[in-house]
Structure 1
Amino acid sequence: MENRNFENLNLNEDVLKAIQHMGFETPSAIQEKSIPVVLEGADVIAQAQTGTGKTLAFGAPVISSLCDKDNRRGVKALILTPTRELALQIKEELKRLSKYSKTKVLPVYGGESIERQIKDIKNGVDIVVGTPGRILDHINRRTLKLGGIDFLVLDEADEMLNMGFIEDIETIMASTPEEKQTMLFSATMPEPIKNLALNYMKDDVEHIAILKKSLTVDKIAQNYFAVKNKDKLEALCRIIDLEEPESAIIFCRTKKGVDELVEAMQSKGYNVEGMHGDMSQNQRINTLKKFKKATLNFLVATDVAARGIDVENISHVINYDIPQDAESYVHRIGRTGRADKEGTAYSLVTPREISSIRQIEKITKSKIKKKELPSLEDILEKKYDNLLNDITSKIGEKKYEKFMPMVKTLEQNFDLSEVSAALMEMLFSKDMSFEYTNDKLEADVPVRLFLSVGRKDSINVKSLLTFIQDTASVKKHEIGDIDILDKFTFMDISSNTAEKIINKCSGKKLNRRKVNIEIAKSKK
């Protein structure tokens, strides 16, 4: 895979341009194996974990194929997902992949106006991404016709099985033409999923399995900061000014992102340079030499450019942009915490990326803790302490004799305490590398709730949603991902709604079982 890139995978030029614009230079394992097979027209069963780049693995070849076909009207591809949140994530990814083509993508899920969805479908759409319940509703209303689709994708099929959607899926699949191309992606392959493939997929279906690698991140303290995209630069500067790392790699998703961040940081006075594939070999070698010799404090890089970096004393890795998959995340942060030293990894995460952080936690079996961004007061206190230490050190060295005549002159006209304060203000202002705002930078992120009921209590997503909505008068769009396990459940909820659900629903009965709800301490 080291020598492979997207240009070798026979994708349409418009899709390749979009992938380059997204900043992805090298395909992940599932992408490298799936894309050529899908482009050849084969049915695919792919077993791969969430967070490995699956959306691009099926999205890129589907859009590429649609670009190369005729422009007939009507839905040409259907993608089924277990949750509204995943449907929206996939829609956003497909929208980015369609940047240079005319492919139209529509998300379809419950909790939104079905009349608006009907209108959007009538106006013309190429790809529909939706949850089984709402897709089936459209089929029954005859507002979504699947008789002419070329592609059917089942993403996270095992999760749809766990959520009780298997019968809906079979009904939907029966409404599609036999000659379509079908792709099934699933982390596990339980018997009902195998039967689904047996009954509805071609005999010569291609099987792809991405083996789970041991992705360990020992000796690395992992934290994330929740920020809005527009506040990332100030957040980064606050972190650096408080932590004062001597050597740190900062990762950006795109080459353009590297150039823009380097320029912004240099304008603030940081000792920083960038590294990416468009730079000459000599440029990269010289930059790396400076970084290894510690004459350069900060290196901003893309994933591919950073591959050859082997530096022992990197104290911090900062993900200015989070990577596309867990494996890339582990490769990034593994550059700190080497040679039996502890390292620190920080990620700047926008609200829509919180689910990606949870996926990385799940795959790496590690905890990425949310941390509060340093406040203006925290940084000022740090700067004051540093300045006092520097002044104390200079007094101890007694190397200030040549400045004594100047002090005597100032003493004749001013109080020495005022002179000292003015000099400290000058030094302090020079040391401040960033003009901070007093705005609260933290973005609102979902709260994770723990519920004391699970699959063994005969609950599913539908019954749980009904219980929460009816008991707490909560709207469906306020509820995020739901993870139902055997004996308990995790639910993501907007922070301003969490307390209401706890107060209204905790202690009430669902399926004759008392439900206790609290803020989840950690996700097991």
Structure 2
Amino acid sequence: MTFKDFNFKELLQKAIEEAGFKEPSPIQVEAIPHVLQGKDIVGQAHTGTGKTAAFGLPILNKLGKKAGEALVIVPTRELAMQVSDELYRFGKHLGINTATVYGGQSYSRQIKLLENSNVIVATPGRLLDLLRNEQINIKPNFVVLDEADEMLDMGFLDDIKDIFTYLPESRQTLLFSATMPVAIKNLAKTILKEPEFITITQANVTNVNITQTFYVVDEKERDDALIRLFDYKNPKKSIIFCRTKKDVDRLSTFLVSQGFMAKALHGDMEQKQREEAIKAFKSSKLEVLIATDVAARGLDVNDVTHVFNYHLPFDGESYVHRIGRTGRAGKDGIAISIVTPHEFRTLQRIEKTIGTKLESRVVPNISTVKQKKIDELKQTILDQEIKDYAITLVEDLKEEFDISTIAFKLASIIASKTYVKGNNNIGKSEIDIKKLTELLSKNDRGDDRNGSRNRGGRRDNFRRDRKRSDRDESSSSSRPRQRSSSSSAKPSGDKPAKTQRSRRRD
């Protein structure tokens, strides 16, 4: 089956082809016909199954020109941005405007930009605020509740129920959830009418040959942590993924300055430049490729030993595609993610999506890395065959130095490779990571239950604390559109540790 079999509008089909989509995923095969027929659905599927397109494509196909005609409710700002990006990409030829709404941004700017947006992607708290204060009056024909169980976990269930009291009875409602706890089943009975039930299960979505770990650092330590991990892991061929083109360019320049054979790969590069970078990487003229997600789906190189997530992606699907660049053709691979405390919830959502727990580790200190380099150097010397030209060189040197002096001089030359740059300790310790995990669990259980009714509570403080990180993580784009943004670790080795945005056509 192909997407052409759904008989979408010509301009929508054009966007699908430009996005490189050919065969629909199981959730898309099951859901799209029901949505096109106007039926409510309950879909049990993880983020990585392609459900954004499963509800987005048929809704875009049916949209008119009314503002606020479609409403998508998601649990977090990160997912809101991701869904909004995806819907914009599919609807760009149809003249569809989308707006992303979440807390921490100007109410007046949001209200103004919502007036001309066909699709609204919103988090529950801010959306409920706008509805309660009668600052917006939307009458969507299509309502999507995405990641319903995540919203339940975050304490948003009551907010969701309140939101639906402001929405028209005459609507098509789609609910998606990775799991179906009793509370979600009861919610479905309340807000949906004679829904179709679709269940897509997914096991082992990541390659079992890939070792997946993460390191927790402060934002300012990302570069230092990356260099330290390169020193320790010594990858033969690796891909580093960043969220934005700007970060890719900056990191590429930085790594070259540190002596790495590295090049950038992103969508703003000319096609010839991209082809040259990929060709050099495949032929091992490059040891490091720094890329945005443009490389995650199409790059096919069998000897990539390591994948580094300099930034975490927003969703499990992108994570799976990224780390799938290693561990290919039956070989083992290593996937390493650099995570800040503000990204822990994103990490947890990815783990939930892929059904795998990533192993927490501590960035190794200088002495650990140095000792590893010395051990590797010793082994290299032991394994080295004695060449005739080496014998000639040593015999010539013996005319001026004794054999011990020659050995010391040669060792001094090669031992320079054991030098380790940077601070001794980088990132969080095992104790720090444990405390961070416990704090996040406490926030989820307690503060998030208050939802939008506790705007002065710790949940909002936590979200405000994430503001700087969110700015760092927001994607840049060359698309013509208007946007409005809404302890030092103890020395240790490498061991396990326990907006709003609006898019418009110019």
Q: Secondary structure at the match of 1:402?
A: helix
Q: Secondary structure at the match of 1:449?
A: helix
Quick one: structure 1 residues 8 and 436, their matched pair in 2 at CA, closer, same or farther if it must change by over 3 Å? farther
Structure 1 residue ranges without an equivalent (≥5):
280-285, 481-494, 497-520
Kindly indicate whether residue 176 of structure 2 is the aligned counterpart of residue 185 of structure 1. yes
Q: Which moved more, 1:469-478 or 1:295-304?
A: 295-304
**Alignment equivalent of 1:145, drawn from 116, 137, 145:** 137
1:134 corresponds in structure 2 to 126
The whole-number CA distance in structure 1 between the counterparts of 2:371 and 2:436 is: 31
1:125 corresponds in structure 2 to 117
TM-score, scaled to structure 1: 0.59
Q: Secondary structure at the match of 2:71?
A: strand
1:102-142, Cα deviation, whole Å (9 max, x unpaired): 543333344544344334334x3222222344323322333
Kindly indicate whether residue 464 of structure 2 is the aligned counterpart of residue 477 of structure 1. yes
Kindly indicate whether residue 54 of structure 2 is the aligned counterpart of residue 54 of structure 1. no
Match runs of 1:52-91 below 5 Å = 52-63=49-60, 65-66=62-63, 69-70=64-65, 72=66, 74-84=67-77, 86-91=79-84
Counterpart AA for 2:72:
I
The whole-number CA distance in structure 2 between the counterparts of 1:191 and 1:329 is: 32
Aligned-CA RMSD value: 6.1
2:476 corresponds in structure 1 to none
2:148 corresponds in structure 1 to 157
The whole-number CA distance in structure 1 between the counterparts of 2:397 and 2:323 is: 55
The whole-number CA distance in structure 1 between the counterparts of 2:85 and 2:361 is: 27
Match runs of 1:208-357 below 5 Å = 208-213=198-203, 221-225=211-215, 239=229, 241-244=231-234, 302=296, 316=305, 318=307, 320=309, 324-325=316-317, 328=320, 332=324, 335=327, 343=332, 345-349=334-338, 354-357=344-347
Asked whether the equivalents of residues 410 and 419 of structure 1 are also in contact (C-alpha less than 8 Å), the reply is: no
Q: How big is the shift at 1:152?
A: 0.9
Kindly indicate whether residue 358 of structure 2 is the aligned counterpart of residue 368 of structure 1. yes
The whole-number CA distance in structure 1 between the counterparts of 2:218 and 2:7 is: 36
Q: Secondary structure at the match of 1:400?
A: helix
Counterpart AA for 2:97:
K
Quick one: structure 1 residues 416 and 196, their matched pair in 2 at CA, closer, same or farther if it must change by over 3 Å? closer
TM-score, scaled to structure 2: 0.61
1:43 corresponds in structure 2 to 40
Asked whether the equivalents of residues 308 and 336 of structure 2 are also in contact (C-alpha less than 8 Å), the reply is: yes
Asked whether the equivalents of residues 225 and 346 of structure 1 are also in contact (C-alpha less than 8 Å), the reply is: no
1:77-123, Cα deviation, whole Å (9 max, x unpaired): 1122345554455345545556666543333344544344334334x
Q: Which moved more, 1:211-220 or 1:465-474?
A: 465-474
Asked whether the equivalents of residues 235 and 306 of structure 2 are also in contact (C-alpha less than 8 Å), the reply is: no
Asked whether the equivalents of residues 52 and 324 of structure 1 are also in contact (C-alpha less than 8 Å), the reply is: no
Quick one: structure 1 residues 419 and 146, their matched pair in 2 at CA, closer, same or farther if it must change by over 3 Å? same
Q: Secondary structure at the match of 2:357?
A: coil
Quick one: structure 1 residues 229 and 63, their matched pair in 2 at CA, closer, same or farther if it must change by over 3 Å? farther
The whole-number CA distance in structure 2 between the counterparts of 1:375 and 1:18 is: 48
Asked whether the equivalents of residues 256 and 262 of structure 2 are also in contact (C-alpha less than 8 Å), the reply is: yes
Q: Which moved more, 1:465-474 or 1:124-133?
A: 465-474
The whole-number CA distance in structure 2 between the counterparts of 1:454 and 1:231 is: 25
Q: Secondary structure at the match of 1:106?
A: strand
The whole-number CA distance in structure 1 between the counterparts of 2:405 and 2:94 is: 68
Asked whether the equivalents of residues 249 and 318 of structure 1 are also in contact (C-alpha less than 8 Å), the reply is: yes
1:146-197, Cα deviation, whole Å (9 max, x unpaired): 23x2321111334545666556545543543455332111234456655654
1:206 corresponds in structure 2 to 196
Quick one: structure 1 residues 370 and 111, their matched pair in 2 at CA, closer, same or farther if it must change by over 3 Å? same
The whole-number CA distance in structure 1 between the counterparts of 2:420 and 2:439 is: 41
Q: Secondary structure at the match of 2:138?
A: coil
Q: Secondary structure at the match of 2:72?
A: strand
The whole-number CA distance in structure 2 between the counterparts of 1:271 and 1:476 is: 35
Kindly indicate whether residue 27 of structure 2 is the aligned counterpart of residue 30 of structure 1. yes
Counterpart AA for 2:55:
F
The whole-number CA distance in structure 2 between the counterparts of 1:395 and 1:159 is: 59
Q: Which moved more, 1:470-479 or 1:113-122?
A: 470-479
Structure 2 residue ranges without an equivalent (≥5):
266-270, 273-278, 468-486, 489-496, 499-506
Aligned residues with identical type, % of pairs? 30
Quick one: structure 1 residues 160 and 216, their matched pair in 2 at CA, closer, same or farther if it must change by over 3 Å? closer
The whole-number CA distance in structure 2 between the counterparts of 1:329 and 1:15 is: 24
**Alignment equivalent of 2:390, drawn from 373, 390, 400:** 400
Q: Secondary structure at the match of 1:448?
A: helix
Counterpart AA for 2:336:
S
Q: Secondary structure at the match of 1:447?
A: helix
**Alignment equivalent of 2:448, drawn from 454, 461, 471:** 461
Quick one: structure 1 residues 319 and 26, their matched pair in 2 at CA, closer, same or farther if it must change by over 3 Å? farther
Match runs of 1:99-118 below 5 Å = 102-118=95-111
Quick one: structure 1 residues 354 and 85, their matched pair in 2 at CA, closer, same or farther if it must change by over 3 Å? same
Q: How big is the shift at 1:210?
A: 0.6
The whole-number CA distance in structure 2 between the counterparts of 1:454 and 1:126 is: 34
2:471 corresponds in structure 1 to none
Q: How big is the shift at 1:209?
A: 1.3
Quick one: structure 1 residues 409 and 36, their matched pair in 2 at CA, closer, same or farther if it must change by over 3 Å? farther
Asked whether the equivalents of residues 316 and 336 of structure 1 are also in contact (C-alpha less than 8 Å), the reply is: no
1:173 corresponds in structure 2 to 164
Larger Rg: 1
1:456-478, Cα deviation, whole Å (9 max, x unpaired): x9x67244898896589946523
Q: How big is the shift at 1:243?
A: 2.7
